[in-house]
Amino acid sequence: MKKQTIEHTRLLVLSLLEGRDMYGYQIIVELARRSNRTFEMKEGTLYPVLHGLEQEGFVEAYRQEAPTGRERKYYHLTRKGQGALREEEAAWKRYSGAVNDVLRGGAEAEPV
Amino acid sequence: MTRREFTDQVLLPLTRLTWEEREAVRRELEEHLEDRMESMLERGWEPELAEERCLESMGDPAEIGREMAKQYRSRDQGWLWLGRAAVALTAVLCLQAVLSLEFFYTWKYVWDSVDARTIYVPEGWTEILDTVELSMALDICVPVGNDVLRAARVNVGREKNCDRRRAEVVLFSYDRIPGGVVSTNLLGSITVENQRGEQGQSAGGWGHYRVERTAQYVEIESGDIYVTLVYKWLGKTLRVQVPLPEEAS
């Protein structure tokens, strides 16, 4: 698992949990659906990310019965996690904006 | 690989988690596999193949475990500091114990118990006599239950303002095991008799729970060659003759 992958996964997970509380498998399914299967990852790698967020206090976990009737471990975004999401979102926008700028500049510089 | 083997490998590096926390991680992963499996079966996968693909889709369990362990690294640091603090505290307590009087006395008492087995009571040492006329070192050891009674010296002499001569026997008691606890009842119950059966007295003594010392004395007459230590133990009367210094006869 590469560091970059984890950092991006953190942002995506925080973002998904902003909408509603979810359990691990739900997050994987939702991530694949919303990204049109672009963000398909080895599913087990989600759990170190979730546990890391929990250790940092960005999410809280609780057990509750899922719509399937089985009990699952749900994750809830905390106020602290909302703050972290805002920061990571801003950082990502700066980063992606800079990448876009470079790509646009690179395209213009290319001789026709 | 089975689900159990998969989760076992994930849990392997999570050494700082409690058993309950590790089992909670296992449960969460198993639930994920269960959901994935159900989804694949609904889509018509063969159970065996679905199981295989389920585990494949999870990724390398060892790597998941390592990454998971990293998330608890701050807790590891906490344990590390706690461990160091415990070692430091133990060292301080050990030092304090070594320096404390109680520790000193414990070893002193054990040493006294060992010492009493061979100690030589010097000539002239007496508990009650004002003048020692004759003295003889002894080494009479009598086992009494778990304890040992040792007569270490006998003196013959006089007290001030008393014409009659007295024999004084210096006694020790200690446990058979060096450092063991001796019965305080042993020396307290011993009496000394002269050759005519007249009982003597105790001159008091000294001791702690690992060794006791006393002196018993009785009046003697010219020509006496021994006195007798008498001790009643478990319904039997033990009698031990202690010779008097030869010149006394």
The answer to whether B63 contacts A72, with C-beta atoms less than 8 Å apart, is no
What average pLDDT does this structure show over A82-92? 92
Token reading at A58: 């960005």
Give the pLDDT confidence score for residue A106 in this predicted structure: 59
Flag whether residue A43 sits within 8 Å of chain B, measured between CB atoms. Answer: yes
CB B62 within 8 A of CB B12: yes
Of A63-67, A106-110, B223-227, which gets the smallest average pLDDT? A106-110
| ipTM score for this prediction | 0.84
Token reading at A29: 């399914």
> Alpha-carbon distance B134 to B120, whole Å?
16
Low-confidence stretches of chain B (pLDDT beneath 50): 248-249
With 80 as the cut, is the pLDDT of residue A109 above it?
Answer: no
One-letter amino acid at B22 equals R
With 60 as the cut, is the pLDDT of residue A6 above it?
Answer: no
Give the pLDDT confidence score for residue B75 in this predicted structure: 67
Rounded to the nearest 10 degrees, what angle do helices A79-109 and A46-56 cross at? 120
Question: Which chain A residues touch B61 with a CB distance below 8 Å?
Answer: 44
The answer to whether B59 contacts A45, with C-beta atoms less than 8 Å apart, is yes
pTM for the model stands at 0.52
CB B181 within 8 A of CB B173: no
pLDDT in tens, A20-42: 999 999 999 998 888 777 776 78
> Alpha-carbon distance B231 to B249, whole Å?
26
Flag whether residue B31 sits within 8 Å of chain A, measured between CB atoms. Answer: yes
Closest partner CB to A47 (pick from B35, B64, B70) = B64
Give the pLDDT confidence score for residue A108 in this predicted structure: 53
Give the pLDDT confidence score for residue A112 in this predicted structure: 45
B228 versus A7: the higher-pLDDT residue is: B228
